[in-house]
Amino acid sequence: MKQLPGLGPSTAEGEVVVVSGTVRAIGEPLIAPLSRARCTWFESRANTFERRGAQRFLLEREGTSPIVIDPTHAHVALALLPQSAVDTFPALEIRIAHRDTDGLATAYETIVAIGAAISVAGIVARETAAETPYRDARADILLVGNADAPLVIVDT
């Protein structure tokens, strides 16, 4: 990602860029099933239990307009939450229900948390007013990925 250009005023639609900032939800955030953390993307696993969730979010950058991030096609390379973060009551129920042969299933969860500082590499797209249902969070720039070139999200 270090060799990718940053987003600039002359960046054209379709270019791949990297942007760093702080995650802000658009509307109500998702709630990760194991940690119960407020987030915009999650992947949760405990043996046979597996769930993913994703919704668009804003990436706020100091002194500039926010960018909308669409994590539909995302490769998220963030750290797994520590085991203590997923040992809530619902997580324990999931671990019991999805035991492995050695006892309780080990639960794993990765999230893009509200307020997290991240870097995102993606394809620049432009939004039209018709694509923007969140008037108070209007941003003209959208970073997306696709099946062949997924969006990449990493820690800053």
Segment 64-100, tens digit of pLDDT: 889 999 999 999 999 999 989 998 888 989 999 998 8
Helices (H) and strands (E) in the chain, counts: 1, 11
**Any idea what DSSP says for residue 140?**
S
How far apart CA 137 and CA 66 sit, in angstroms, is: 8
pLDDT digits (tens, 9 = 90+) for 116-133: 999 999 999 976 654 555
